[in-house]
Structure 1
Amino acid sequence: MTEARGSAGGNGEAHARYTPGTPCWVSLMVHGVAATQEFYGSLFGWKFRPGPRRLGPYVRALLDGREVAGIGRLPPDRHLPIAWTPYFASDDVDQTAETVRLCGGTLGVGPLDAEEAGRLAICSDPSGAVFGVWQAAAHRGTGIAGVPGTPAWHELRTFESESVAKFYATVFGYEKEPVVSADYDYLTLHLDGRPVAGIHGVGNSLPRDRGPHWMTYFTVTDTDDAVDQVLHLGGQVLAPARDGSHGRVATVTDPEGARFALLGSPR
C-alpha cells in the first residue's frame, strides 16, 4: 500500500469537494445494523445518526461530529458477502455507470437518487470486485480524514493488477504507477499527481469465498491495541500486526465477517 497523501488538512478536515475519481465515502451493508454500530462505535469511537432510507435502514457514522462512513442493512433475500465498499466521486454518475458497462464492468444497483444526499450506483469491475460511484448533492462524502477512526487508503485485492487497472483508468481517468519488482504485483492509481488507491495482484492467494475485493484501511493510534479490541468485540484476525513501509498493519474482520485493515504508526 501507499499513503493517501493530500486527502486531508492538518486539522483532519477532508476536502469540501472531491475530485472525480477520488475515494469519497465507504459503506458497509450488514444483517445486524445495531450490533455493527456497537462494534465500530467501540473500536473507532464513532457516533451514529440516521441517513437516507432509499435502500432500507441506514446510518451515518460520525467522528467529532463529521461524517466518516455509512452502515446499512442488507435485504434478507440478498445473500452477498459482507464487505466494506468504497465509493468514487463522479460529476455525472449516469455517465460513469455507462462507461463502467462499456468497459466490461457490471451495474448492480442504480443509478438512483439517495433522497437529497446525492445520486449513486453500485458496480463491479470485470474481475467481480464491487465498488460504488457517488455524485454529491447535500452529502459530499467523508468529512474528516487523517485522524484515528477514518479511512486511510483503499486497495483492490485481485488476481493481477495490470488488466483491471486499465478498466479503472478508463472509467476514472487515473494514471498508473507500478511497483517495479519481480515478485510483487502492485500499482498505484494517481489523480493530479497524487496517489488515491492501490491495486494488489495476489494471484491464487485470494480467499476463495471472496474473490477480488476492495480493502479499506482505517487509521488507528496503536495497531496492536486495536487488534486486541477487535478480538474482544467478537471480530477475528486474518493477518497479525506487522511493520510495513507506511506503518503497522493488521487485517481483521468484524463479527459479520467484513474484512478491513488497521493502520497505525510503526513500533
Structure 2
Amino acid sequence: MARDLPAAQEFYRAVLGWSFRSTSLGDEFSVGLVDGEAVAGIGALASTLRTAVAWTPYFVVDDVNAATSRVRERSATVAVGPLAMKTGRGALAADPDGAVFGLWEGRIIPGWSIGKGQGPARLELRTRDAFAAAIFYGQVLQWAAEGAPGGTPGLDVHYEEDRVNVRDDGRTVCSLRGGAVGSAPDPRIRPRWQVSFRVPDVDAAEAAAVAAGGEVVAPASSPPTGREATLRDPDGGMFTVVSGH
C-alpha cells in the first residue's frame, strides 16, 4: 500500500523495470508486470489510515472468517477486516511478535507464484523464534510438517537448522528465519515479512533507487545464493533485490 500510487509506480518502474495494469479492484489498485507476468500489487493507502507503508504478503485461505478466528485464538491481532471486495474477501493481521500479513479468500491471479516465473524470488519472515512462528502460521494457515495429517495438500513444512521452509510440491514458497532464542530482543529489529524481487543487475537497481528518491538499507553483497541488496522506497517500503536465484 502506497501513499501516492502514481509516484510509487514511477519508482518501481525505474528501479525494477515494472509496467503496470489496472485491476477489477478499481483505479486505486494496480498490478506490477515483468514481461507481461504479474509480480506484485500496489494499492493506494487511504489518507485517513495512519499506517506504515510496507510490502505485505497475503496468504490464500478457504474461509477468511475461520482464519481470522484462528489468529485471535492464538493471542494475535486482526487489524482490518474481513472486508468484502469485488473479487473476494480480505483481512490484515499481525502475528504474536508483530509481523504483519494478510489473508485472502477469493479469486487470485492465474499462474502467480513465489520462486517461479517472474514472481517474487523469495518471501521470508525475519523473527526471533522461527519455530514458534512456524507453529503459529501452521495452525492459522493449516500448514503441516512433512508427513503429518491435516495440512494443505501438496504443502509441507521442513525444519532446517535455524529456519523453517514451507514447500509447495517440492518448491520453497516461503521461509521463516529466527535468531538466538535465548538472547535479548534487539529493539532495532522489528519482526517482519521481507520480499525479494529479481533484477538483472543488483548494483544498477541500487543506484536507480537512490536516484529515484529511495535509500539503501543494506548495500549490495554476494552471499552464496547470489548478489542482493536491501532497499527502501520513498514512502518507507522495504524490499530486497536479488540476482542469481
**Distance in 2 between residues matched to 1:142 and 1:165, nearest whole Å:** 23
1:107 pairs with 2:78: yes
Tell me the residue number matched to 1:207.
Answer: 188
**Distance in 2 between residues matched to 1:140 and 1:106, nearest whole Å:** 30
Percent of pairs identical after alignment? 37
Q: Gaps spanning 5+ residues in structure 2: where?
A: 146-156
> How far did 1:145 drift?
6.0
TM-score by length of 1: 0.76
SS in 2 for 1:169: helix
Among 132, 146, 159, the alignment partner of 1:178 is: 159
Among 42, 45, 55, the alignment partner of 1:71 is: 42
1:263 pairs with 2:242: yes
1:62 pairs with 2:42: no
Say if 1:138 and 1:70 are closer, same or farther in 2 by CA, change over 3 A: closer
> How far did 1:238 drift?
0.9
Aligned 8 A contact 2:228 2:242 in 1 = yes
> How far did 1:229 drift?
1.5
Tell me the residue number matched to 1:198.
Answer: 175
Tell me the residue number matched to 1:159.
Answer: 128
Aligned 8 A contact 2:115 2:172 in 1 = no
> How far did 1:127 drift?
0.9
Q: Gaps spanning 5+ residues in structure 1: where?
A: 1-28
1:227 pairs with 2:206: yes
RMSD: 2.5
**Distance in 2 between residues matched to 1:154 and 1:206, nearest whole Å:** 23
1:253 pairs with 2:223: no
Q: Matched residue pairs, number?
A: 229
Say if 1:193 and 1:171 are closer, same or farther in 2 by CA, change over 3 A: farther
Amino acid paired to 1:247: G
Amino acid paired to 1:69: A
TM-score by length of 2: 0.82
SS in 2 for 1:151: coil
**Distance in 2 between residues matched to 1:174 and 1:38, nearest whole Å:** 40
Say if 1:146 and 1:140 are closer, same or farther in 2 by CA, change over 3 A: closer
